[in-house]
Structure 1
Amino acid sequence: MYWELAVTVAVVLLTTAVIVVFALLAAAGAGVLARLDGATYPAALTRAAVTFAAVITLASTVASVFATLLT
């Protein structure tokens, strides 16, 4: 019982870390592309922040759909 709980917690933490890293990479890419397109630094940072929030929102939506379907 304890082992299954520990594995579940480890999987959830690792999945969360991967999603955050992926969101940061997507945000960095969006910021760089915005800057290369001629946007100012504040505008590029805003686009990066919006992209980060969108990836996190999408991941939480997908997780809630999976949780609903699998339980």
Structure 2
Amino acid sequence: MSVAVVLLTVALVIVVALLAAAGTGKLARLDGATYPTALARAATAFGAVITLAAAVTAAIASVLT
């Protein structure tokens, strides 16, 4: 696999994680959470998406090897 494909995939995963975090933070604020609480929820969502992407990558890598 070329380096460009890997970099584009990493960039796409980060963009999706940032969008999920932004949506989570916005929904938390609309629900009445304070800014620190909304930021904590957004950070948790960002971490969850990155963790899920790593788990899926590991599962696919174990199947392909």
- Same topology, TM > 0.5: yes
Q: How is 1:4-19 mapped onto 2 (pairs within 5 angstroms)?
A: 8-19=2-13
2:55 counterpart residue number: 61
User: Which secondary structure does the structure 1 equivalent of 2:2 belong to?
Assistant: helix
Task: Provide the C-alpha distance between the structure 2 equivalents of 1:69 and 1:8, rounded to a whole number of angstroms.
Answer: 20
Task: Provide the C-alpha distance between the structure 1 equivalents of 2:2 and 2:62, rounded to a whole number of angstroms.
Answer: 17
**What per-residue deviation string (whole Å, max 9, x for no partner) do you get for residues 40-70 of structure 1?**
0000000000000000000000000000001
Which of these two proteins has the greater Rg computed from alpha carbons? 1
Q: 1:10, CA displacement in angstroms?
A: 0.7
Q: Kindly report structure 1 stretches of 4+ aligned residues shifted beyond 3 Å.
A: none
What is the alpha-carbon root mean square deviation over aligned residues?
0.8
% identical equivalent positions: 66
TM-score by length of 1: 0.89
Task: Provide the C-alpha distance between the structure 2 equivalents of 1:53 and 1:62, rounded to a whole number of angstroms.
Answer: 14
What count of residue pairs does the alignment treat as equivalent? 65
1:44 counterpart residue number: 38
Task: Provide the C-alpha distance between the structure 2 equivalents of 1:26 and 1:15, rounded to a whole number of angstroms.
Answer: 17
